[in-house]
Structure 1
Amino acid sequence: MTDREREVYDLISQNPMISQEEISEKLKIARSSVGVHISNLMKKGYVLGKGYVLKESPYILVIGGANIDIEGYPTGKFQMKDSNPGVVKRSFGGVGRNIAENLAMLDLDTKLISLVGDDSSGRDLLDYCKRRGIDVSNVEVVEGKSTSTYLSILGAEMDMEVAISHMDIMDGMDERLIMKKQNLIRGAKLCVLDTNLPKGVIEFLLNNFDVPFVVDTVSLEKSRKIEGLYHRIDVLKPNLIEAEYISGVKIEGEEDVVAAGERIHELGIKNIFISLGKDGVYYKNQAESGFIRPPKTEVVGSTGAGDAFLSGVVLGRVLERSIEEQAMYGVANSICSLESKSNIPEDLSRKKIEEKLEEVKRCNFTKSI
């Protein structure tokens, strides 16, 4: 499917009764061209006939942040209130966007709902996402707004000295926008949310759409946004601090991790994956629970490991694996990230994660509860 065919397809999916004239107006192309694109979609099997009956294709929908990450660090001693010789790096980030890229690289049909500004950063971000296989036709470009940007300055020891987060564009993610995308949301096989979304939007999504929701807590503060909504969440991935807060259980050892997982499950969350950092993950649902330990890994970078883990879990769920193997997929994908200089490895693939999965299995560190 070409980019233009994708745009036509998405308009039809949102409104199966849309006319060719309406499509031509929305896409600013000739009506005759619309007819050619629809004919091609029919030949390829995406559109099945008159009335624009669409072939159902399972897809993962990610709703969350997309931003530009700018990171600077000195090549010598760091001096405050002075110009420091060093290195500045620019990359594409955002929890939701990172997860979407992981999923697309793992050969899953992935669509992203987010907001970017009408600036060069927004255009660069969208172009990059398209190259990585993410369907960004539902990312809204907001006039007069700047694309979300996160600027961090690291010290000589590569610890953050100061950061500035410019992400007010996400305030525009509201119920109106969600309702505009309601057919897309209802048609998703899974819907991944990150808690950078406004609290009201998270509540609206969880209370009004009957699709399996996978939620990344992002941080302790942002995890508070899902209080009272636990029963609507299919998958949750907290770290130890977030799990302690949600469960009310003080975590000082493995027995406490088990107790916290049990309590979180009692709150209504169906599948829990508590990240233990370098010690792996604890998983829990109605039928199974246990620990997965990672093989020894040479860590090159750690910033993308959490997003990679959740993406691996989603892959395991799509493949209808047990929760234990879903956790293994998560650990396998996080290892791919840890061993890479980039948040998301350039060579990430389904084959690569399957190879890492075998390493995780060979460790034989699974301990059932």
Structure 2
Amino acid sequence: MALNENERKVLDVIREDPFISQQDLAEAIQLSRSAVANIISGLVKKGHLLGKAYIINEERPVVCIGAANIDNRYIVQDDLIRNTSNNIHATSSLGGVARNVAENLGRLGEHVDLISIVGNDDDWKRIKDHSKYFIDLSSVTVLDNQATGNFIEIIGKEQEVLIGLSDMSIYDCLNLDLINKFLEKIQRAKCVVVDLNCSKEAIEFLQAFTRRYNIELILITVSTQKMVNLPDQLDGITLITKHDEMEDKFQRPVQTDQELKKMVQLVLNKGAKQVVISKDSDEVIYGNHESIQIFENPQYSKGHYEWGQNEALCGAMVYANFHHYEELGYDSIQVGLINAYLTLDCLQIVRPDLTPDKLKKDIENYFITDRKI
């Protein structure tokens, strides 16, 4: 369950001094002693504190590493006319693939840490003010001389992408030097999710590091331009990607079922444990070393734009792995897909009504067809 601001303050003080009195704790965070007592009681019920001794239940977190930025989308209302102004509908939302995955996990009650890099500006303040209720942001590096990442898409009236623009230069600093500062936190992780805004060198290091400590590693792609950061060998990882990004990376078509299957096999041959490739918003192919399946979106409508699809899929997949959904008869990929398709349906990057109970009800009421190929 996500923590509120006062709960986070109490835990931060207790981490510094586990033997602090309630009165001193109240003075440290400028609340009444009775208010602190209620907060501590709530933290015990939520499992973050073990009894009256202020023993912190240090649950192993999921660590997400990558982008936290602002997404701006401009939807053209009529046919685009060049060299003049056009009527648009403008939207702006929090983004960044790693941040989006982290919020999905946080809304599902997971303890999730974000390792990212941002500018000391209003965009970071906006990201922080929203994300702090779902994500531990203590490992986000703030730079005074850089701007928080920004992404812009111009979208046609049929929801087709006309052009994408990005100012992501800050992620040049998302490199091995930065990762090395957080190795103790990464070593404690029960799963690490990395987006391809991280440098190739950093990702290859994380491959070796997570393998050494037997930590699950998931790589999730972000754009065709960033596919240069995909490691040459994918030993033991889970790869979540899109068909057009794989087309660009390997210079081969990924359109038909057989082409999708060949691409999955190519990735598995590079050592991956499992592969997920989304083909727009209509179908997803999943493969491991036992089988390859295609799952169809029962609510697919042509031209539907895939806001947040793979991030929602990744977050719910990770959650399902740790909460025994296979005992209910659902594979983690099925749980991920249900969250992904319902995220598409709400047209927001992260479903605002996502909770563990809501996801369980969704699974009971949502049917996804699949076929082996």
TM-score over 0.5 (shorter chain): yes
Q: 2:334 corresponds to which residue?
A: 328
Segment of structure 1 superposing worse, 153-162 or 303-312 = 153-162
SS in 2 for 1:339: helix
The 1:331/1:68 distance shift into structure 2, 3 A limit, reads same
The question of 1:344 aligning with 2:346 is answered no
Q: 2:126 corresponds to which residue?
A: 124
- Distance in 1 between the 2:112 and 2:26 partners? 29
SS in 2 for 1:290: strand
- Distance in 1 between the 2:276 and 2:260 partners? 11
- Distance in 1 between the 2:250 and 2:82 partners? 41
Are the equivalent residues in 2 in contact too, given 1:60–1:191 (CA < 8 A)? yes
1:4-62 per-position Cα deviation (integer Å, ceiling 9, x unaligned): 6636756997xxxx779xxxxxxxx999728x99xx8798475679xx97533132111
With a CA cutoff of 8 Å and minimum separation of 6, indicate the structure with the bigger relative contact order: 2
CA shift for structure 1 position 346: 1.9
The 1:4/1:183 distance shift into structure 2, 3 A limit, reads farther
SS in 2 for 1:230: coil
Q: 1:236 corresponds to which residue?
A: 239
The 1:177/1:321 distance shift into structure 2, 3 A limit, reads same
1:306-350 per-position Cα deviation (integer Å, ceiling 9, x unaligned): 221222221222224459711111210111111113222222222
Match of 1:286 among 284, 289, 310: 289
CA shift for structure 1 position 246: 6.9
Are the equivalent residues in 1 in contact too, given 2:282–2:300 (CA < 8 A)? no
Q: 2:190 corresponds to which residue?
A: 189
Are the equivalent residues in 2 in contact too, given 1:107–1:349 (CA < 8 A)? yes
SS in 1 for 2:289: coil
1:51-105 per-position Cα deviation (integer Å, ceiling 9, x unaligned): x975331321111101111222444554444444433222111111111111212
Match of 1:97 among 74, 96, 99: 99
CA shift for structure 1 position 160: 4.0
Match of 1:108 among 107, 110, 116: 110
- Distance in 2 between the 1:106 and 1:199 partners? 30
TM-score (norm 2): 0.79
| Aligned 1:252-291 pairs, distance under 5 A | 253-291=256-294
CA shift for structure 1 position 219: 3.0
Q: Report percent identity of matched pairs.
A: 26
- Size of the aligned set, in residue pairs, is 354
The question of 1:354 aligning with 2:360 is answered yes
1:163-205 per-position Cα deviation (integer Å, ceiling 9, x unaligned): 4311111122232322221111111111111101222222222
Q: 2:231 corresponds to which residue?
A: 227
- Distance in 2 between the 1:80 and 1:192 partners? 40
SS in 1 for 2:154: strand
- Distance in 1 between the 2:25 and 2:317 partners? 43
Q: 2:21 corresponds to which residue?
A: none
Q: 2:312 corresponds to which residue?
A: 308
Unaligned runs of 5+ in 1: 21-28
Are the equivalent residues in 2 in contact too, given 1:220–1:242 (CA < 8 A)? yes
- Distance in 1 between the 2:281 and 2:156 partners? 24
TM-score (norm 1): 0.80
CA shift for structure 1 position 213: 0.7
